[in-house]
Chains A and B, each alone.
Chain A
Amino acid sequence: MSCSRKDANAALLSNFEVFQLLTDLKQQRKESGKSKQSSGQQNLNTIMYETLKYISKTPCRYQSPETVREFLIAMKGHKLTKAEKLQLLNHRPVTAVEIQLMVEESEERLTEEQIESLLQTVASILPGDPEEQQRDSAMETEGRGSQ
């Protein structure tokens, strides 16, 4: 292969960005019609299909550019590395255990309240599964009603 690599790590991409890119590309190819597609495109079709299938099962399918921007602004105060913020964005953790997995040396860097506040920020800014959220809010109102 003659292609040379200038920068193997020019930027980290979030699952959401790749999701958007592939969805747009799929739309473009559908619109341009099948006449232009030659047999050489089979690899691209395969990888696009499989990658889209995988990413669509992650929380990024509920995200939008605005939520990602909001999330990054909210994360500024927590002193996390880029890689840690990216993992929080891609996985949308809901338990303290998951935060401990993603943040290095979390016992030393974060207190329990900080972990709690991180979870709150993640849950409030990043949208989750709408069905689950409906169920959760229904359970909450039930609980309040029975009091």
Chain B
Amino acid sequence: MFVLVEMTDTVRIPPWQFERKLNESIAEELNKKLANKVVYNVGLCICLYDITKLEDSYIFPGDGASHTKVHFRYVVFHPFLDEILVGEIKSCSQDGVHVSIGFFDDIVIPPESLQQPAKFDEAEQVWVWEYETEEGAHDLYMDIGEEIRFRVVDETFVDTSPTGPSSAEASTSNATEEVQKKEAPYTLVVTMCIIPIVSQSQWLILFLK
């Protein structure tokens, strides 16, 4: 689920923080910059693991602050392909079931990946799995708050950095329209964990756990 990513960056320490230990200031600045943020093509950054190398600090003309190039390692949430994770159902919509793991919410199970046959109940806004046995059909509701086990199938990174002036001109013509849709910078497409098994009780164990 978590990986260690080696990164480099130049950290700016303002003069009024010079009395603090350099390592502490740098750790604080790095966490301020990266914690709880998604880095494009890397993942969701959690916290600083360690600082591997500190290069010399420089003070540039016109700016009293020191600039230090830092090599460090950061703990990043980036599940690998086919990894099994456990989460909670957050909501259901036409595009699928939305799952959350507390610190990360953009996980979606597309309708094709749900156990078939599945249908979307408009009245209750939940997906229902119509499970057939010899005794008859059972309806298993994917209720909010239910714990669910899923396998990571795909991930999408979207660059949400602000666009330049040329595209801003094009968008001013739509100024009366509402705010542009916010896109999630990092989305996981997952599938529910199913494998063909014989007994019904085993199905239920997989589904309910």
Contacts and interface: CB of A to CB of B under 8 A. Distances in A.
Given A90-B1, A102-B84, A21 B49 contact: yes
Contacts, number: 121
Nearest to A49: B103
A97 interface: yes
B3 A44 contact: no
Given A13-B3, A47-B35, A95-B205, A101 B102 contact: no
Interface residues of B, number: 46
A22 interface: yes
Interface string B2-26: 1111111110000000000000000
A5 B6 contact: yes
B86 to A, nearest CB: 8
Contact of A4 (B4, B9, B75, B151): B9
Given A13-B4, A53-B102, A87-B83, A44 B42 contact: no
A4 B41 CA distance: 12
A10 B37 CA distance: 19
B71 interface: yes
Contacts of A95: 202, 205
B179 interface: no
B84 A91 contact: yes
A15 B1 contact: yes
Contact of A3 (B2, B9, B35, B205): B9
Interface of A: 1-15, 17-18, 21-22, 25, 40-41, 43-44, 46-48, 50-51, 53-54, 58, 83, 87, 90-91, 95, 97, 100-102, 104
Contacts of B75: 13, 18, 21
A6 B197 CA distance: 44
Contact of A40 (B7, B32, B86): B32
Contacts of A2: 9-10
Given A43-B35, A43-B37, A54 B103 contact: yes
A40 B45 CA distance: 15
B2 A13 contact: yes
A3 B46 contact: no
Contacts of A40: 28, 32
Given A41-B32, A51-B46, A97-B205, A10 B5 contact: yes
B140 interface: no
A53 to B, nearest CB: 6
Nearest to A22: B47
A4 B10 CA distance: 10
B197 A15 contact: no
A12 B3 contact: yes
Contacts of A97: 195, 197, 202, 205-206
B185 to A, nearest CB: 12
Given A18-B46, A41-B28, A43-B35, 6 more contacts: A12-B3, A18-B2, A54-B103, A87-B83, A97-B202, A101-B193
A58 B39 CA distance: 26
Contact of A6 (B10, B49, B71, B86): B71
A44 B35 contact: yes
